[in-house]
Amino acid sequence: MNLKILVTAGDGIGPEVTNEAVAVLHEVAGIGGHKLALDHKRIGGVAIVQDGTPLPKNTLDAALASDAVLLGAVGGNEFNSLPPDKRPEAGLLAIRAALGGFANLRPAFAFKELAVNSPLRPEIVDGADILFVRELLGGLYFGKPRAWDKAKGEAHNTMVYTKDEVARVARIAFQLAQKRRKKLTSVDKANVLEVSQLWRATVNEVAAEFPDVTVEHQYVDAMAMHLMNQPRNYDVVLTENLFGDILSDESAVITGSLGMLPSATIGGKVNLYEPVHGSAPDIAGKGLANPLGAILTGALILRHSGKLEAEAAAIEAAVRKVLEQGFRTPDLARSNPQGFTVLNTTEMGAKVRETVKTLLVDA
Ligand code: NAD
Ligand code: IPM
Ligand code: MN
């Protein structure tokens, strides 16, 4: 298997965590005799500084010519006063739009070894296994008109969805639910928003194509609570762009840290892979970042773009084993009564590589 991956490491902890993900991918590919062709290009704040734009043309061209794009994170406090279309985040939204993936899969899996690291009680989180399917190319993020009229003291954004946009992401969510526990929860605000009423009606229409999947609808405010009270109750959670952004970060509480969450965006020309977390300026450059979300994102590249299920599963198993052995990054050991061994970013990456090698060579 030959896989051409473009790495856009971005800002803050982006390069720190993608380095570890790439090293794990090299380790796994080397063992299996698979060829990885890796290229690196700039995106986000680093591209604003060096190229004058958050998404340089050579980055986009390279992305479109690859099999998969692995993105670290973008953003930094020094760009906070820029308008949205000039910020590092604009580069991320532009590459998402250009690659065309509309279904952002964000698994929130509670490794049982991490139940003690969640602020929620272990008996609540243990066994939780949720797959968020977040619509990624619509809603408030891309709707027009949008503007901030400073003279008038007024700003607006537009939440817009077409029926086709809802149906295509819903179909992917139902297909994934069929391969899992056959339950789909669609999250909206249909008690207030017309967009959500369209969303709900369309999800119900698509549901008729999948009679084996049980569907329920929840309002987003109640869902935010249910997720914390009974995370085990949920299988596939389908929602629009902004609600999905918020609920998936919230679910980091179930897994113990935002640094644990991977994502894959499918349905477009080239799949885009990113950990869920951002550039974490508060810990950047200190070796404190948890690389496991990025490493698990690497596993998703192998699964979805490489069709290398055994290798993807081996990376996930290696992460579990490392946790089982009591290794933690600082975000997972804020208080450490259990006496975990706390590792920095590169040490954690090395542990996963060492472990995945044992798993694949023994197998
Ligand atoms: P953030 O996700 O960067 O950080 C939130 C908190 O989680 C921070 O305390 C951070 O230290 C911690 N954290 C995040 N990832 C971690 C990891 N791997 N290991 C340990 N701790 C981790 O969100 P924020 O602080 O709200 O945003 C910072 C910048 O990142 C902003 O510019 C924002 O727009 C950007 N952002 C980018 C992406 C992306 O590029 N995909 C995603 C989210 C936020
Ligand atoms: C994410 C981030 C992005 C989003 C930002 C940085 C544009 O929060 O990937 O979750 O809102 O989609
Ligand atoms: Mn987010």
Residue 38 sits in the same domain as residue 164 = no
- For residue 73, what are the β-bridge partners? 10
- How many angstroms is it from 12 CA to the middle of ligand 1? 9
Residue 28 sits in the same domain as residue 126 = no
3-state secondary structure of 208: coil
**In this structure, is residue 114 part of a structural domain?**
no
> Model confidence over 211-250: pLDDT tens digits?
999 999 999 999 999 999 999 999 999 999 999 999 999 9
Nearest 5°: CA angle at 246, between 240 and 251?
A: 110
> Model confidence over 178-195: pLDDT tens digits?
999 999 999 999 999 999
Closest listed ligand to the CA of 278: 1
Per-residue H/E/C for 322-336: HHHCCEECHHHCCCC
Q: Is the pLDDT of residue 337 over 80?
A: no
How confident is the model over 114-141, as a mean pLDDT? Answer: 95
For residue 11 and ligand 2, the question of a CB distance below 6 A is answered with: no
Looking at 255, 279, 296, the residue that finishes a domain is 255
Residue 262 sits in the same domain as residue 304 = yes
Cα Dmax for the chain = 67
Contact 308, 34 (CB under 8 A): yes
Residue 222 sits in the same domain as residue 298 = no
Residue 267 sits in the same domain as residue 243 = no
Which atom belonging to ligand 2 lies closest to the Cα atom of 245? 10
198's enclosing H/E stretch is helix 194-207
Residue 250 sits in the same domain as residue 269 = no
Residue 261 sits in the same domain as residue 249 = no
For residue 75 and ligand 1, the question of a CB distance below 6 A is answered with: yes
Residue 301 sits in the same domain as residue 321 = yes
As a whole number of angstroms, the distance between CA 178 and CA 184 comes to: 9
pLDDT of residue 338: 81
Can you give the pTM of this predicted structure?
Answer: 0.98
Residue 80 sits in the same domain as residue 196 = no
Contact 63, 70 (CB under 8 A): no
**In this structure, is residue 299 part of a structural domain?**
yes
**In this structure, is residue 242 part of a structural domain?**
yes
Look up residue 259 and give its DSSP letter: G
Residue 127 sits in the same domain as residue 103 = no
As a whole number of angstroms, the distance between CA 184 and CA 252 comes to: 20
Residue 217 sits in the same domain as residue 124 = yes
**Angstrom distances, CA of residue 30 to CA of 15, 22, 54, 286, 322:** 22, 12, 33, 30, 21
Residue 163 sits in the same domain as residue 249 = yes
3-state secondary structure of 191: coil
**In this structure, is residue 278 part of a structural domain?**
yes
- How many angstroms is it from 33 CA to the middle of ligand 1? 35
As a whole number of angstroms, the distance between CA 159 and CA 138 comes to: 8
Domain coverage including residue 284: 1-107+257-363
Number of domains in the chain: 2
Phi, psi (deg, nearest 5) at residue 253: -65, -30
For residue 278 and ligand 1, the question of a CB distance below 6 A is answered with: yes
Which residues are marked as active site? 141, 189, 221, 245, 249
Instruction: Residue 127: give its domain's CATH number.
Output: 3.40.718.10
For residue 15 and ligand 1, the question of a CB distance below 6 A is answered with: no
- Mutation pick for ligand 1 pocket among 77, 272, 279, 328 (CB with most ligand atoms within 8 Å): 279
